Amino acid sequence: MFAVETYQLTKHYQSGKIKALEACSLQVDQGKIFSLLGPNGAGKTTLIKILTGIIHPTNGGAKILGHVFTDFSIHHRMGYLAENHRFPEFLNAQQVLFYYGKMAGVSKSALQEKIPQLLATVRLQDWGRTKIRKFSKGMMQRLGLAHALINDPDLIFLDEPTDGIDPIGRKEIRDLLKMLREQGKTIFLNSHLLSEVERISDEVAILNKGTLLQKGSVDDFISIKEQFQIKVENGTAQLPQICQELQIPVTHVNDFYTVAVKEMGQLNELIDRLREQKILIQAIIPRKITLEDFFIEVITENKGGEN
Ligand SMILES: Nc1ncnc2c1ncn2[C@@H]1O[C@H](COP(=O)(O)OP(=O)(O)O)[C@@H](O)[C@H]1O
Ligand SMILES: [Mg+2]
């Protein structure tokens, strides 16, 4: 069973004038961190709002933890941190968690035990009695996270959780998300902050103008399987020569030669030839690109497409 499975989910606004989401089908494994990436206006928030029952899709369907998404009984197993969430500013942090916990159906005695623990988890233990109007953006975001965890959910939707947070605060949130994954929880994250996502996501999907462009693991996206960087101790004259004979394109930057092979057999043939000539290989490194490079490539390839 998947934590989330969507089938051709579609959302049009203003009688079809705005196509926020187009036939979006994806699966999210349980116990994993899944990130939905895309530029502003891609449709990320629209998708989370459909899955959390806030808006209805124009077409298509979804299953959440094995239940049809319109079965609202599943909501007690879900947590949700909305993008730009606002809590009433006259409340203190404890009161926010108490009232929202009550609304989520958590008992008073469970809340009394849970609230101090959650405040400690998000490092607000000394701020429980402070009115939240005094909170910084980072503190507000951490309180939002605590509120998304108040019902001990199995599946947590987080819409831009690290938005407006400084680097240290972002690391704290990353660590918290990893801890939640260790507890077996599934995290569905919307983000436009690629370097954040690269470090913690198990799976990534890229959305642009409502259309899903790519899905896969971060590793799948960032390693170019056919390119390797080779460093040799001697034989720098022979290496380009051997590559030419094997018809392997090669480029040279600093101490490294980058070769573009058709498949692993060709790489091994190159290694055999280098070793035959007693060339000492110091390193062979698969070439990686950043998720950001990949993202820009995917988005620009699809520019001017749909919509
Ligand atoms: N209630 C709405 N009415 C009309 N258009 C909307 C509404 N909500 C979102 N949109 C539009 O749908 C598109 C997707 O928005 P959104 O899901 O918020 O994207 P993202 O979260 O990726 O930035 C955008 O073009 C946005 O302007
Ligand atoms: Mg959004």
pLDDT digit string, tens, across residues 23-46: 999 999 999 999 999 888 999 999
CB of 13 closer than 6 angstroms to any ligand 1 atom: yes
What is the mean pLDDT of the segment spanning 80-106?
94
pLDDT of residue 305: 45
pLDDT of residue 164: 75
Indicate the pLDDT class of residue 130, thresholds 50, 70 and 90.
very high
CB of 45 closer than 6 angstroms to any ligand 1 atom: yes
Indicate the pLDDT class of residue 165, thresholds 50, 70 and 90.
confident
Candidate of 13, 19, 36, 159 to mutate for ligand 1, largest count of ligand atoms within 8 Å of Cβ: 13
pTM of the model as a whole:
0.82
What is the mean pLDDT of the segment spanning 140-163?
93
pLDDT of residue 252: 87
Expressed in angstroms and rounded, the spacing between residue 139 Cα and the centre of ligand 1 is 26
pLDDT digit string, tens, across residues 186-200: 999 998 777 777 778
Mean pLDDT of the chain: 91
Q: Whose CA is nearest to atom 27 of ligand 1?
A: 41
CA distance 18 to 42: 11
pLDDT of residue 194: 74
CA distance 138 to 150: 19
Residue 226 has pLDDT above 90, yes or no: no
Return the ligand number nearest the Cα of 159. 2
CB of 21 closer than 6 angstroms to any ligand 1 atom: no
pLDDT of residue 288: 77
What is the mean pLDDT of the segment spanning 265-288?
93
**What is the atom index within ligand 1 of the atom nearest the CA of 207?**
22
CB of 44 closer than 6 angstroms to any ligand 1 atom: yes
CA distance 228 to 52: 44
CA distance 17 to 296: 26
Most confident by average pLDDT, 149-153, 217-221, 254-258: 149-153
Q: Whose CA is nearest to atom 18 of ligand 1?
A: 45
Residue 264 has pLDDT above 60, yes or no: yes
What is the mean pLDDT of the segment spanning 49-62?
96
Q: Which of 58, 48, 56, 55 is nearest to 4 (CA)?
A: 48
pLDDT of residue 307: 39
Candidate of 12, 21, 22, 45 to mutate for ligand 1, largest count of ligand atoms within 8 Å of Cβ: 45
pLDDT of residue 303: 64
Expressed in angstroms and rounded, the spacing between residue 105 Cα and the centre of ligand 1 is 30
CB of 43 closer than 6 angstroms to any ligand 1 atom: yes
List the structure tokens of 151.
């019902």
Domains of the chain: 4-208 (3.40.50.300), 224-288 (3.30.70.1150)
